[in-house]
Structure 1
Amino acid sequence: MAGKTETPKHTSYDVIIVGGAIMGASTAWFLTDNKDFDGKVLVVERDTSYQSCSTAHTNSCMRQQFSAELNVRISQFAADFVKNLRGYMGGDERVPELSIHSFGYMYLADNDAFANVLRENQKIQLAAGAATQLMTAEQIAAAYPFYNVEDIILGSINLVDEGYWDGSAVFDWWRRQSRERGVEYIENEVVAINRNAAGTRVESVTLKSGEVIACEQLVNASGPRAARTAKMAGIEMPVEPRKRYTWIFKADKPLDRDLPLTIDPSGVHVRENGGGTYQCGAHSEIDPAVDYDDFAMDFDLWESHVWPIVATRIPQFEAIKVQSEWTGHYAYNTFDHNAITGPHPELQNFIFLNGFSGHGLQQSPAMGRGTAEWLTYGEYRTLDLTPFSFDRIAAGRPVEEKAII
């Protein structure tokens, strides 16, 4: 972002958003797009290069294959938003026309229990209007002969609005257009969240540069750092950073057709990347919380675990060359792996937008829209996101999502 600004222009704002990556940017843009909102918005981002944020490390894919209907609906809106981005952005001719490279997600089941999960999930997905197909091992081999399916019982795939999309373009345009409409982005850091005397509302935030800035509402959109932001307000929440590793490799013998984003029963996943290259993701068998700034690569994981699985599933990938690799963080909700949204039950102007556990990018259009609705009206006007409210954590009422990668 050109021209970094450390100091806010004003001493008070209607909305302060803590975190300017995909969720914060989406919320800010949807606020500017709502004719009923006319307040001042400040986005506080600790690093406006965004080099270490989850948004920068994403696989940039979307799917409708979830086990919770609400998650299916959320991704359906994302698909519509991406395919009609210019229209959503007021017909601005500078905005690119985007599409979805719908190579699909291929879930592979090697046991009856997971096969039954895929069958039950498909019922939910079809009822919500998704185009999920179940495939036997023989059908998979016929359609995708490069797979080794000797151990596979069932597969599940959807070739409609499921695959790669240009998340960085959407992210860039949310920030660009919202700034043009008056949203203020600064590179700074919230170091304290201050309540009123009664302790019932957030009154202000203190910035690392020393300013105390008043606000009417505060949005926690700080990704893997969400728990640290919440703790400043005296709130404990079950979100922590978990490492996720990514490799880009080139195959000596590229496949003769698109590779769906294939989720092996081991959890290792691999997908089409274009030009004879492929993108693979995994995590260590031991998957602890890590330090917010720990992006060290596990260089043994590829040779000892990931590549053998990929080459066994797709024998044509026995001869490949890794071109790049990196580590990113999931904002991992240890309670139920689903989003935490909406207001805190006691500190009602503290709004959560956290815990997406790896599917945040594809959920960002619906989540930003819903959060903007809540900030404007005190309720959701489109998709009802109340099942993801913070209340469910204290009540011990998880929203189960079985389709987590």
Structure 2
Amino acid sequence: MKSDVVVIGGGAIGSSVAYHLKSDPAFGGTITVVERDPAYTRASSALSASSIRQQFSTPLNIHLSRFGIEFLRRARELLGVDLGLREPGYLFLASPAGEAVLRANHAVQKAEGCAVDLLDPAALKARFPWIAEEGLALASHGTANEGWFDGSSLMQGFRNTARALGATYVADEVVSFDAAGVDLKEGGRLEARAVVLAAGPWSGELAGRSGIALPVEPRRRSVFVFDVREAPGVTPLTIDPSGTWFRPEGRFYLAGTTPAEGNDLAGAPLEVQHQEWDDMVWPALAARVPAFEAAKVVNSWAGYYEYNTFDQNGIVGRHPRIESLIFATGFSGHGIQQSPAVGRAVAELIVHGEYRTLDLNTFGYDRLELGRPIRELNVV
């Protein structure tokens, strides 16, 4: 069996690649997307908290998400789906120890034209009266182009539209790949002119089995849904200096945190770490928002980050010595928001031989071999 392009992974990134390829009038080839979990029960796209922000420390991440927010606003027109996009912004809080980094990030964001306000504790309290400002030195509030949406609907919109345009989806698992195609678990081989590795958290393992070093691994994150007796008021997605984050979700709220040292192992079972709520999340919420002292967990889930251990940024573009192999992985928690731009960029690379909308060469694979990380300081 042959296909012009084989995409390994049918989540948001892989399906965005398929959609953008099939949407390009200059592409007349065939596309096969191989997805081992067609119900998406473990897919990071379906289990994401699905938020989008401009507040990054790396200019290219800002550009990727700027493209993304415009795409999300047009999702009904482009994909026929309602993503329920909300744009109350992000609110990063800094202790005195984190103030310098927040100011440095702010300078990068303002240079890129982001709508971001720095707030001292008094200004923060005036804007968000529900917050306890103790222990804070500074805050950064994104006032436009930031918020959250239905990530599962975005993924399905990409998938369904790509299929309607002629992409083929195969329910199988790729066990290895090379420059000329992929080998399937159920037997058989798909030959291809181009192979796109978009297998999310499992990209590193699959690459390793294929003889390619790729520092991408699954890192578990727990998300808690909680209720409160009285809502505090308009609430952006807020990141406490402790690493705990929270945001509204309908009449409820979502929250999570970065796991404690020693509890962030690669490939840990996809099980909710309820102790994180008791030991880390709830204490931070109660201290920062008095209205959350009586928070009650009503649901929870766990999902995997496709964590790039090298520098926590996406790995996108051709392998330097295997031209037919293209990477689209390692986004470390911000893949869902960057899926529109990455899918478009990879499609351009395949069809036109170069990036045309956004130049993603900064995130190329060669930086791994050269030992030149592009550090993202704002990883949530």
Give the TM-score normalised by the residue count of structure 1: 0.91
Matching residue of 1:120: 104
1:77 aligned to 2:77? no
Q: Quick check: 1:220–1:229 contact (8 Å CA) kept in 2?
A: no
Which amino acid in structure 2 is aligned with residue 398 of structure 1? P
* CA distance in 2 between partners of 1:85 and 1:297 (Å): 31
Matching residue of 2:58: 68
How much has 1:98 moved relative to structure 2? 5.0
Q: Quick check: 1:253–1:319 contact (8 Å CA) kept in 2?
A: no
Moved more, 119-128 or 373-382: 119-128
1:335 aligned to 2:310? yes
Matched residue of 1:209: which SS? coil
Superposition map of 1:196-345 within 5 A: 202-255=179-232, 257-275=233-251, 277-286=252-261, 287-291=263-267, 294-345=269-320
Matching residue of 1:92: none
Q: Quick check: 1:84–1:97 contact (8 Å CA) kept in 2?
A: no
Deviations, residues 64-112 of structure 1 (Å, cap 9, x unaligned)? 00111111111111111111224445xxxxx14556311111111111x
1:22 aligned to 2:6? no
Matching residue of 2:374: 399
* CA distance in 2 between partners of 1:27 and 1:289 (Å): 30
Matching residue of 1:387: 362
Deviations, residues 179-232 of structure 1 (Å, cap 9, x unaligned)? 1111000110111224xxxxxxx1221111111121111010000001122123
1:108 aligned to 2:61? no
Matching residue of 1:36: 26
* CA distance in 2 between partners of 1:310 and 1:299 (Å): 15
Q: Which runs of 5+ in 1 are unaligned?
A: 1-10, 90-94, 195-201
* CA distance in 2 between partners of 1:168 and 1:209 (Å): 27
Which amino acid in structure 1 is aligned with residue 302 of structure 2? T
Alignment match of 2:35 (pick from 19, 22, 45)? 45
Which amino acid in structure 1 is aligned with residue 150 of structure 2? D
1:151 aligned to 2:126? no
- Please report the RMSD computed on the Cα atoms of aligned residues, expressed in angstroms: 1.4
Q: Quick check: 2:49–2:151 contact (8 Å CA) kept in 1?
A: no
* CA distance in 1 between partners of 2:215 and 2:240 (Å): 28
Which amino acid in structure 1 is aligned with residue 185 of structure 2? K
Matching residue of 1:374: 349
Moved more, 145-154 or 166-175: 166-175
**Structure 1 residues 125 and 227, CA gap change in structure 2 (3 angstroms):** same
Matched residue of 1:374: which SS? helix
* CA distance in 2 between partners of 1:247 and 1:96 (Å): 26
Matched residue of 2:180: which SS? strand
Q: Quick check: 1:83–1:97 contact (8 Å CA) kept in 2?
A: no
* CA distance in 2 between partners of 1:98 and 1:48 (Å): 21
Which amino acid in structure 1 is aligned with residue 358 of structure 2? L
Q: Quick check: 1:17–1:221 contact (8 Å CA) kept in 2?
A: yes
Which amino acid in structure 1 is aligned with residue 99 of structure 2? A
* CA distance in 1 between partners of 2:102 and 2:274 (Å): 33
Deviations, residues 259-296 of structure 1 (Å, cap 9, x unaligned)? 11111101010111122x1100113212433327x212
Matching residue of 2:164: 180
Matching residue of 1:359: 334
How much has 1:142 moved relative to structure 2? 1.0
Give the TM-score normalised by the residue count of structure 2: 0.97
How much has 1:302 moved relative to structure 2? 1.0
Q: Quick check: 2:83–2:151 contact (8 Å CA) kept in 1?
A: no
How much has 1:169 moved relative to structure 2? 2.3
* CA distance in 2 between partners of 1:137 and 1:77 (Å): 32
Q: Structure 1 vs Structure 2: percent identity of aligned residues?
A: 39
* CA distance in 1 between partners of 2:109 and 2:280 (Å): 32
